[in-house]
C-alpha cells in the first residue's frame, strides 16, 4: 500500500510539473479551468502526502487502527477537494455565466466546504496563523453586520457569500491564485530542477570561492549563497533550510557562536526574496497589481537589494574583525576550475532565463525554456561528462520537490485569496485605510511608519506573499493618494512584509535558523536585525527619492546611491562597534549620527556627517 501511494504521489507530481511547464506555452486555458486544475494538484500533493506519512508510520509502528482512520480521513479530504476542483473545471463555462449567483443550495454547500478544505490544506503545510486568519475573516463576512460603527458592514446571506467567494474570479479563484497558477509554480519547478541537477552545488562552490578566504569568510559565504539561492526560491524559510544546512555547521566548526551563525543565515536568507533577477513569489503579484512588466520590477528593485546585502556583508565584516573570526584555509577552497565547471549548471539556465525576459517575453515563457535547459543538465555529471544513470534520480527528486513547494504556495495563495476577497466584499480595506489617514493626520512620514508596522505585524507567522497582499490592500491606496508612484508604494509594503521574518516576537526565519544552530532565538533575532538594519530605512529613502529605484536622472541616482551607501557603512560600523578597531559607546554613537546625517538629502549635511568617520579613521 505504501508503494502504491508513493507511486500515486509521483504520478501526481509529474502531472503537476507537466501542467505547469506547458501551461504558458501550449495549454492555454480559461482562468477558471487553469486555477481549478492548479488547486486539484495541490489537494493531491498535500492530502496524498499526509496519507503516505501516516501509512508509513502505521507500517513501522504496527499500530493499525488510529493511523488507518487518519489515512481514511485524508483520503476523504482529498476526494472532496479534488472532486470540487474537477467540478469547477468541467463546469467552468456555466459557472462564468452565473455571475456569482448559485443555482441552489448544492453550490452553496460546495462553496463553504471548498473554503474549509483550502484552509485545512494550508494548515497542514504551514503554521496555523494564516488559515486561522482566513477563517476569522470568513466569520467577519458572515457576522460583521453585528459590529456597530465604522467597521460593520451590511448583512450577507449564505448564498450571496457562496456566490461571491466561489463562483467568481473575485473570490477564491482570484488574482493571487491566478499568479500562483500562471507564474509562480513554473518558477518553483525551474528552481527545483536547477538545484537537483547541479545548480545548488554550483551556487555553494562559487560562494566559497568568492568569499571564503576573507575575514568572516564562512559568514560571507552564507550571504552570497543565500542571495543566489533566495533569488530562485523566494522563501526565507526555504532559504534557511537549504543553504543553512551547509553554512551554519561550517561557521560553528570555525568557532562562530551559534547565535552568529543563525543570525547571519536568517538575515541573508530573508534578503533573498528581494534579490533580482527572480525575487520572491510576492514580486510576481506586485508586478500584476502595479501592472508593471516583471523584468522592470526586478530592474527597479536592484539597487535597494544590493544595499540590503551591502549592510549584511559590511556588518559581518565589522563583527568578524571585532571578534577575530578568520576565513577558510586555502586547502578548503575549491579550485577555480572546479568552481567554473559547477557554475555552468546555474549560469547557463540563468542566462537563458534572462535572455528571454530581456527579449520581451513573459517571465513564465522564459522559465519554460530555462527549465528545459536544466532537464538537459540532468544527463551531465559535475565533470561535464554524459551521465545517463544519474539522470532519472535527479529528475525524480526535482519533480517531487517542485510539486511539494508549488502545492504549499498554492495553498497559501488560496487562503490569502479568501482574506482579500472578504476585505474587498466588505470594504474593510477602505475603512482601515481611512483610519490610518485619520491617525496620521495626513502626514506622509507618520503614515509610512503605521503602514510599515502593519506590514510587519501581518507578516508574523504569515508567508511573505500573503502578508504583502493584505498590507498593500490596506496601505497601498493611502500611499498612492499621497502622490507616490504605485511601484514605490508597493515596494515599500513588500520590504516590511519580508522583514517580519526576522522581527520579534514572531520571526519564522530566525526560529528555523536558531533551531538548526542550537542558539537562543531572541539573541539571534537581535543580531539579525543589526545585520540587515538597512532594510528598515531603505524603503523610506526610495519613497522620498525614487531615484533609488531608478526612477530619476543619472546624477540624481548617483547622489542618492552614494548617500545610501555611506549611511549603510557608517551605521553598520556604529552598530557593530568597529571602525579599524573596536569602539566604545561614544565613538560608535558618533558613527550612528554620521550615518543618520547621510540620509538627509542635503550636500552640506552629508559633508558634516562624513567628518566623524574620517576623523576616527586617522585617530
Instruction: Kindly report, residue by residue over 165-217, the tens digit of the pLDDT.
Output: 999 888 899 888 888 888 878 888 887 888 788 777 777 777 777 767 766 66
Condensed to tens digits (0 to 9), the pLDDT of residues 67-98 reads 777 888 889 999 999 999 999 999 988 888 88
pLDDT single digits (tens) 280-316: 667 778 888 888 888 888 889 889 988 988 888 888 8
State residue 238's pLDDT score: 66
Q: Which of 267-276, 544-553, 606-615 has the lowest mean pLDDT?
A: 267-276
pLDDT tens-digit map of 452-465: 888 888 776 667 77
Q: With bands split at pLDDT 50, 70 and 90, how would you rate the model's confidence at 46?
A: very high
Q: Rounded to the nearest 10 degrees, how much is the dihedral formed by the CA atoms of 273, 557, 442, 425?
A: -40
Q: d(Cα 196, Cα 438) in Å, to the nearest integer?
A: 52
- pLDDT average, residue stretch 219-226: 71
Q: How many CB atoms lie within 10 A of CB 367?
A: 29
**What DSSP character marks residue 506?**
S
Contacts (Cβ under 8 Å, ≥6 apart) of 112: 158, 162
Q: What's the rounded Cα separation, in Å, for the pair 545 and 540?
A: 8
- pLDDT of res. 65: 54
Confidence of residue 261 (pLDDT cuts 50, 70, 90): confident
CA end-to-end span of the chain:
74
Q: Are 434 and 151 in contact (CB under 8 A)?
A: no
pLDDT value, residue 43: 96
235: pLDDT confidence band, cut at 50, 70 and 90? low
Question: What average pLDDT score do residues 223-230 get?
Answer: 68
pLDDT at position 476: 84
Q: What is the pLDDT of residues 402-441, one digit of tens each?
A: 899 889 888 888 988 898 889 888 888 778 878 887 887 7
Question: d(Cα 25, Cα 48) in Å, to the nearest integer?
Answer: 28
What pLDDT, on a 0 to 100 scale, did the predictor assign at position 280? 66
Does the structure show a pLDDT above 90 at 28? no
Which ranges of 427-463 does DSSP label H, i.e. alpha helix?
428-440, 444-458
Task: Answer whether residue 600 shows pLDDT above 60.
Answer: yes
pTM above 0.85, yes or no: no
With a cut of 70, say whether residue 254 has pLDDT above it: no
Higher-scoring residue by pLDDT: 349, 617:
349
Report whether pLDDT(45) > 90: yes
Between residues 122 and 389, which one has the greater pLDDT?
Answer: 122
- Per-residue pLDDT, 77: 94
Residue 139 has pLDDT above 90, yes or no: yes
Backbone conformation region of residue 99, classed left if phi is above 0, alpha if psi is from -120 to 50, else beta: left
* More confident of the two residues 163 and 513: 163
Calculate the alpha carbon distances from 550 to 289, 298, 533, 557 in Å: 20, 11, 22, 7
Percent with pLDDT over 90 in the chain: 20
Instruction: Give the three-class secondary structure for 271.
Output: helix
**Structure confidence at residue 66 as a pLDDT band (50, 70, 90):** low
State residue 319's pLDDT score.
84
255 pLDDT higher than 60: yes
Identify the pLDDT of residue 9: 92
Higher pLDDT, 13 or 481: 13
Amino acid at each position: 500500500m505504501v508503494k502504491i501511494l508513493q507511486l500515486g504521489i509521483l504520478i501526481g507530481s509529474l502531472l503537476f510539473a507537466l501542467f505547469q511547464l506547458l501551461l504558458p506555452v501550449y495549454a492555454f486555458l480559461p482562468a477558471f479551468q487553469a486555477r481549478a486544475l492548479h488547486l486539484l494538484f495541490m489537494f493531491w500533493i498535500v492530502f496524498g502526502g499526509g496519507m503516505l506519512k501516516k501509512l508509513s508510520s502505521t507500517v513501522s509502528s504496527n499500530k493499525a487502527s488510529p493511523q488507518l482512520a487518519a489515512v481514511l480521513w485524508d483520503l476523504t479530504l482529498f476526494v472532496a477537494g479534488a472532486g470540487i476542483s474537477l467540478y469547477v473545471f468541467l463546469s467552468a463555462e456555466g459557472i462564468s455565466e452565473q455571475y456569482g449567483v448559485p443555482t441552489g443550495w448544492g453550490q452553496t454547500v460546495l462553496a463553504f466546504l471548498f473554503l474549509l478544505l483550502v484552509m485545512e490544506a494550508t494548515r497542514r503545510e504551514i503554521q496555523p496563523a494564516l488559515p486561522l486568519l482566513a477563517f476569522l475573516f470568513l466569520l467577519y463576512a458572515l457576522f460583521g453586520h453585528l459590529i456597530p460603527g465604522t467597521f460593520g458592514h451590511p448583512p450577507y446571506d449564505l448564498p450571496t457569500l457562496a456566490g461571491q467567494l466561489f463562483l467568481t474570479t473575485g473570490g477564491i479563484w482570484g488574482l493571487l491564485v491566478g499568479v500562483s497558477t500562471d507564474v509562480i509554480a513554473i518558477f518553483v519547478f525551474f528552481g527545483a530542477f536547477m538545484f537537483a541537477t547541479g545548480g545548488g552545488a554550483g551556487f555553494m562552490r562559487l560562494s566559497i570561492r568568492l568569499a571564503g578566504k576573507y575575514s568572516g569568510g564562512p559568514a560571507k559565504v552564507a550571504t552570497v549563497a543565500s542571495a543566489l539561492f533566495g533569488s530562485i526560491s523566494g522563501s526565507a524559510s526555504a532559504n534557511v533550510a537549504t543553504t543553512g544546512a551547509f553554512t551554519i555547521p561550517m561557521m560553528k566548526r570555525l568557532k562562530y557562536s551559534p547565535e552568529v551563525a543563525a543570525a547571519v543565515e536568517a538575515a541573508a536568507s530573508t534578503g533573498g526574496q528581494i534579490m533580482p533577477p527572480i525575487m520572491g513569489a510576492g514580486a510576481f503579484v506586485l508586478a500584476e497589481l502595479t501592472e508593471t512588466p516583471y523584468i522592470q520590477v526586478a530592474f527597479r528593485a536592484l539597487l535597494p537589494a544590493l544595499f540590503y546585502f551591502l549592510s549584511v556583508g559590511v556588518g559581518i565584516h565589522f563583527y568578524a574583525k571585532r571578534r577575530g573570526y578568520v576565513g577558510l584555509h586555502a586547502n578548503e577552497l575549491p579550485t577555480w576550475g572546479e568552481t567554473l565547471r559547477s557554475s555552468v549548471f546555474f549560469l547557463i539556465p540563468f542566462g537563458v532565463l534572462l535572455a528571454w525576459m530581456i527579449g520581451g517575453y513573459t517571465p513564465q515563457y522564459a522559465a519554460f525554456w530555462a527549465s528545459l535547459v536544466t532537464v538537459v543538465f540532468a544527463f551531465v555529471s559535475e565533470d561535464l561528462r554524459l551521465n545517463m544513470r544519474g539522470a532519472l534520480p535527479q529528475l525524480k527528486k526535482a519533480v517531487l520537490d517542485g510539486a511539494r513547494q508549488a502545492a504549499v504556495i498554492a495553498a497559501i495563495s488560496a487562503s490569502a485569496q479568501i482574506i482579500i476577497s472578504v476585505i474587498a466584499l466588505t470594504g474593510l480595506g477602505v475603512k482601515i485605510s481611512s483610519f490610518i489617514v485619520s491617525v496620521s493626520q495626513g502626514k506622509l512620514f507618520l503614515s509610512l511608519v503605521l503602514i510599515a508596522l502593519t506590514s510587519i505585524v501581518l507578516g508574523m507567522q504569515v508567508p511573505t506573499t500573503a502578508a504583502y497582499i493584505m498590507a498593500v490592500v490596506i496601505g497601498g491606496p493611502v500611499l498612492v493618494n499621497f502622490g507616490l508612484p504605485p511601484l514605490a508604494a508597493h515596494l515599500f509594503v513588500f520590504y516590511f512584509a519580508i522583514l517580519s521574518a526576522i522581527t520579534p516576537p514572531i520571526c519564522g526565519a530566525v526560529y528555523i535558523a536558531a533551531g538548526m544552530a542550537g542558539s537562543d532565538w531572541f539573541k539571534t533575532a537581535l543580531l539579525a536585525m543589526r545585520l540587515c538594519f538597512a532594510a528598515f530605512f531603505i524603503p523610506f529613502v526610495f519613497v522620498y527619492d525614487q531615484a533609488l529605484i531608478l526612477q530619476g536622472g543619472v546624477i540624481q541616482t548617483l547622489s542618492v546611491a552614494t548617500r545610501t551607501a555611506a549611511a549603510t557603512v557608517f551605521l553598520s560600523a556604529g552598530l557593530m562597534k568597529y571602525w579599524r578597531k573596536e569602539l566604545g559607546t561614544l565613538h560608535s554613537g558618533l558613527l550612528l549620527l554620521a550615518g543618520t546625517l547621510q540620509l538627509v538629502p542635503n550636500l552640506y549635511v552629508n559633508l558634516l556627517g562624513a567628518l566623524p568617520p574620517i576623523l576616527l579613521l586617522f585617530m
